[in-house]
Amino acid sequence: MPSGARVGLTTTIPVEVVLAAGLTPVDLNNIFITAPDPWGLVSEAEAAGLPRTICAWVKGIYATLQRQPDIQAVIVACQGDCSFTQALGEILEAEGREVIHFKFPYPRSRKLLKQEIAALMKHLGVTPEEVRRVQEDLAPIRRDLRELDRLTWETGQVSGRENFWWLVSSSDFASDVEAYRKKLTQFLEEVRIRPPVHRPVRLGFIGIPPIFTDLWDNLEELGAQVVFHEMPRQFSMPYGDLDLVEQYYRYTYPYDISVRLADLAEAVTTRRLTGLVHYTQSFCFRQMFDQTIRERLGVPVLTIEGDRPTPLDSRTRMRLEAFVDVLRP
Ligand code: SF4
């Protein structure tokens, strides 16, 4: 692939390898959800033949790719994400798109993960040394993201919406590392002079990124403070200066629920969360973990479900309102 070629990602994968190859990573989830008409993309995918009864994120990714013919290849996590994305990869290949497979080993294994990362490096023609240099270059950005996250839960100077946007877009650094770096530095300078915000209702969002378009505005109106986003935080690789294999080994998203529970329990304590909102996506297998999460975390949990990229429906809005009321001291 020529230098600078755009490569689609269906989820967070070792982006350092893509960058070391001189390619431009494009997280297709982010392109889909920030499109002017994300609901239109879901309808386009259904019109093209994808069933109504599959996850809207997958349909959104598919339709996004139809509108972005310059995306030359797609890296699909064919293990560690879900069977829908595995099938999506097969459909894309059948349509003539170059698909590169990446597997997060299940069960979690350092040895197999190392092999997968090495295979991706080989496929993209980069050396471990080139990848290490990229990882070093990204380290200050990842440190700044940890600081941004701290300014969310410790001082409240970063809002829930801002926290979500910065962390979720760290999967591909909004496709432009230098612009992202610069904007992040400016943003941190701006927020450091804001007054602290401390509200009594401190919420954590767990599960995959919510598909609703107005969630944070509604929660702010209700007087709640969102100080934790499980998956977006994971996308930012929050554990600091590890080698690449260890970094993606500690990344909880693709592995089993016990790894996630340990991370969530720590967040509940450290961030003094008063309640958790478990976001579940219609037709997603991850909904099955809801009961385990409820039983194991020792704080009130509200489970909500979203399907398409729309504003909150009135029933979900009312349930959030009642939940915040119950948590209010
Ligand atoms: S939300 Fe669930 S079903 Fe949809 S792409 Fe993610 S893991 Fe797969």
- Tens of each residue's pLDDT in the chain, 329 residues: 899 999 999 999 999 999 999 999 999 999 999 999 999 999 999 999 999 999 999 999 999 999 999 998 999 998 989 999 999 999 999 999 999 999 999 999 999 999 999 999 999 999 999 999 999 999 999 999 999 999 999 999 999 999 999 999 999 999 999 999 999 999 999 999 999 999 999 999 999 999 999 999 999 999 999 999 999 999 999 998 789 999 999 999 999 999 999 999 999 999 999 999 999 999 999 999 999 999 999 999 999 999 999 999 999 999 999 999 999 99
Atom of ligand 1 nearest to the CA of 61: 5
Find out whether 35 and 64 touch, Cβ atoms under 8 Å.
yes
Tell me if 55 CB under 6 Å of ligand 1: yes
Evaluate: CB of 62 within 6 angstroms of ligand 1.
Answer: no
Is ligand 1 within 6 A of the CB of residue 286? yes
**Hey, what are 251's tokens?**
């990344």
Ligand 1 centre distance from Cα of residue 82 (Å): 6
Mutate which of 58, 231, 308 to test ligand 1's pocket (most atoms within 8 Å of Cβ)?
58
Per-residue pLDDT, 241: 74
How many A from CA of 264 to the centre of ligand 1? 20
Cβ–ligand 1 contact at 81 (below 6 Å): yes
Find out whether the beta carbon of 82 lies less than 6 Å from any atom of ligand 1: yes
The pLDDT of residue 242: 86
| pTM, to two decimals | 0.97
> To which H or E segment does residue 102 belong?
strand 98-103
Q: Do domains 6-129 and 162-327 have the same CATH topology?
A: yes
pLDDT for the residue 1: 87
Residue with tokens 């997060």: 104
Tell me if residue 139 falls in helix, strand or coil: helix
Q: How would you classify the pairing of strands 225-229 and 202-206?
A: parallel
Ligand 1 nearest-atom number relative to CA 83: 8
Q: Give domain 6-129's CATH architecture.
A: 3-Layer(aba) Sandwich (3.40)
User: What is the layout of strands, in order, in the sheet containing 225-229?
Assistant: 225-229, 202-206, 275-281, 301-306
Helix H or strand E encompassing 281: strand 275-281
C-alpha dist (Å) from residue 49 to 35, 62, 73, 91: 21, 11, 22, 11
Cα–Cα distances in angstroms (integers) from residue 74 to residues 6, 71, 92, 143, 235, in the given order: 9, 7, 9, 28, 18
Residue 329 DSSP code: -
State the CATH architecture for 162-327.
3-Layer(aba) Sandwich (3.40)
Expressed in angstroms and rounded, the spacing between residue 57 Cα and the centre of ligand 1 is 7
What's residue 7's pLDDT? Answer: 98
Domain boundaries in the chain?
A: 6-129, 162-327
Per-residue buried b or exposed e for 212-235, using 16+ beta carbons within 10 Å of the residue's own CB: bbebbebbeebebbbbbbbbbbbb
d(CA 314, CA 319) in angstroms, rounded, equals 9
Is residue 129 helix, strand or coil?
helix
Give, using CA atoms, the residue closest to atom 3 of ligand 1.
284
CA of 160 to the centre of ligand 1 (A): 23
